[in-house]
Structure 1
Amino acid sequence: MSRSAREISSPAEWSTVVEGTKVCVVLFYSPSNAASLEAIHILEHHSQGLEGRGTVLELAKVNVDEVKAIKSAYSITKLPTTMLFRNGKEVDKVSGDNIPRLTQLIEKVKQAVDSETTKKASGSANSWKGAALPRGYVDITDQVELNRSELLNFDTETGGVRALLSSEKPSALSGGKATAKDWVESDTDDQLLLFMPFQSMLKLHTLQITSLPPTDDDDDEAPMRPKTIKLFVNKSHNLGFDEAEDLQATQDIELSESDWNKEGTASIPLRYVRFQNIDSLVLFVVNGDGDSEKVRIDRLRLIGESGSARDMGKLEKVGDLPGE
């Protein structure tokens, strides 16, 4: 059975869905327009065989009677109108009741999803790793919803959440001078608060943290590696610093110099039974290992297993249309 297209109800949700998805199909419709409803039916049934999920593929619809701002922004004059986006940019558009053109667009969707899925698999295989993965588990960092993540008390001249979760090798290990600060440093003191919601329910086994502060022993202002960390699961939003200080953590972590390997990565095993079926993680760096007022993190990797999709608007593999 095919899964329903996601209903977009506001311009803000439009931005999150269209800009946050590699391949996105959006159908503009009206409940009173029979051709619109037939087009939705065709798209939903043609979702069969599309393996992309999460940030790879989204099938969505917009009720033009309810969300007129989006209708106006994209000059929708005929119903149904179907648009295909890749990385937030329009690549095809079908206006009116045109089944042959809609079929062509669906084929483009399948090709785009195949292309993005192949790139994603290739990138995952070749991405930088700061430490070996535990046997039987995989890197599931790509399950973090970047658009909804929040990082507090970081120096805005350094990278943000995207830098922390990047699969690329940290510039500090590349031998040359960094053209951009692809790491995070704390701002007013040595604390950081990171909220990471997930696209699906996860089983988290290991947290890998890479920290590569400068090695100049004479620089008292050089940032430190994290020392004390508190982890919280299944929060609907980020915590405040006072709240995080007082709240009992899902797991408390104390790092020492011996925990860091030659790549500057600490591989932290988690109390696995406490990290089953989680939909978010809050990471609180309580303090750093030294006397500086700043702490630095270059990369974060989440290791475990991904589960069922949390958003019921995402697609699953479904059966063929009758007669195909």
Structure 2
Amino acid sequence: MSHHHSHNHGHGHCYGEGDDGHDHSNDITPALQSLLYSQIQFDSITTLNEATPKSGAAIVKKTYAERQNDEPELESDADEQLLMYIPFTGQVNVHSILIYTAPTPSAPKTLKLFKNRDDLDFSTASELKPTQTIEVPRPIPGTDVFEIPLNRAHWNATTSLSLFFEDNWSDGEEDVTNVGYIGLKGQFLALNREPVSFLYEAAANPNDHVAIPGVSGIGGRIMPGQ
């Protein structure tokens, strides 16, 4: 996925010049190591109040190398608020959220995050206590993606993440919010969970039926002939 970016996306976007070429070669590998990109169910992402259908899913689907591309971009419609639902293919621990926005007053400010809620609308998102609230830093010209660490204790065994962009940096003057890229970092759990617990249970079963004092003292092995 990542080897094509240096050729296909250098058509006039703001990141095509300068020293950014060094950033890709030095930083892209560690940045990708813990991205939850392949664990996101892109087809099931929903975004309320998006001006262009599927644009919310499109900015999550951008690769890390494409994070500063002008298009696609998520833009709010009726007012400055956006509500995005991102489901995962299994359980993940979310460590941080990556956000890139152009340096304008329409960049998002207050972001409320909800864990494992697939039933939110704007009224419930406004009333419910979020799992965590973060303030997205105000971007200035020349800034790259913001990586905002989350409180890891709140984000274990996450199957979906809802992002409620409540306001932007215009202090109420701009009723359009724009977001260019969203990425998520963390650990994916589902692949090694079930086989491990199954093997433990299978291995424990023979011992369950043998009530010999001291068996556990020799490592739980059943000696021949017993």
- Tell whether the 8 Å contact from 1:207 to 1:301 is kept in structure 2 after alignment: yes
**What secondary structure does 2:58 align onto?**
helix
**What secondary structure does 1:171 align onto?**
coil
Matches within 5 A, 1:103-114: none
1:139 lines up with 2:35 in the alignment? yes
After superposition, the C-alpha distances for 1:281-304 in whole angstroms (9 at most, x for unaligned) are 000000000021101111101011
1:148 Cα deviation after fit: 1.4
1:162 Cα deviation after fit: 2.2
Distance 1:261 1:283 in 2: 25
**What secondary structure does 1:273 align onto?**
helix
Match of 1:302 in 2: 184
Gaps of 5+ in 1: 1-122, 173-180, 216-222, 313-324
1:158 Cα deviation after fit: 8.1
Report how many aligned residue pairs link the two structures: 171
Among residues 82, 91, 94, which one is paired with 1:192 in the alignment?
A: 82
After superposition, the C-alpha distances for 1:60-105 in whole angstroms (9 at most, x for unaligned) are xxxxxxxxxxxxxxxxxxxxxxxxxxxxxxxxxxxxxxxxxxxxxx
1:171 Cα deviation after fit: 2.5
Gaps of 5+ in 2: 7-22, 195-226
1:135 Cα deviation after fit: 8.7
Match of 1:285 in 2: 165
1:248 lines up with 2:129 in the alignment? yes
Match of 1:171 in 2: 69
Among residues 81, 99, 102, which one is paired with 1:209 in the alignment?
A: 99
After superposition, the C-alpha distances for 1:257-297 in whole angstroms (9 at most, x for unaligned) are 3x768344221110011011110000000000002110111
Cα 1:145–1:136 shift into 2, 3 Å: closer
Cα 1:125–1:166 shift into 2, 3 Å: same
Residue identity matched to 1:307: L
1:126 Cα deviation after fit: 6.8
Cα 1:267–1:127 shift into 2, 3 Å: farther
Match of 2:19 in 1: none
Match of 1:230 in 2: 112
- Tell whether the 8 Å contact from 2:46 to 2:54 is kept in structure 1 after alignment: no
User: What's the TM-score, normalizing by structure 2?
Assistant: 0.66
- Tell whether the 8 Å contact from 1:137 to 1:304 is kept in structure 2 after alignment: no
Among residues 159, 166, 180, which one is paired with 2:55 in the alignment?
A: 159
**What secondary structure does 2:190 align onto?**
strand
Q: Indicate the percent of aligned positions where both proteins have the same amino acid.
A: 26
Match of 1:274 in 2: 154
After superposition, the C-alpha distances for 1:203-227 in whole angstroms (9 at most, x for unaligned) are 11010111115x5xxxxxxx61100
1:239 Cα deviation after fit: 0.8
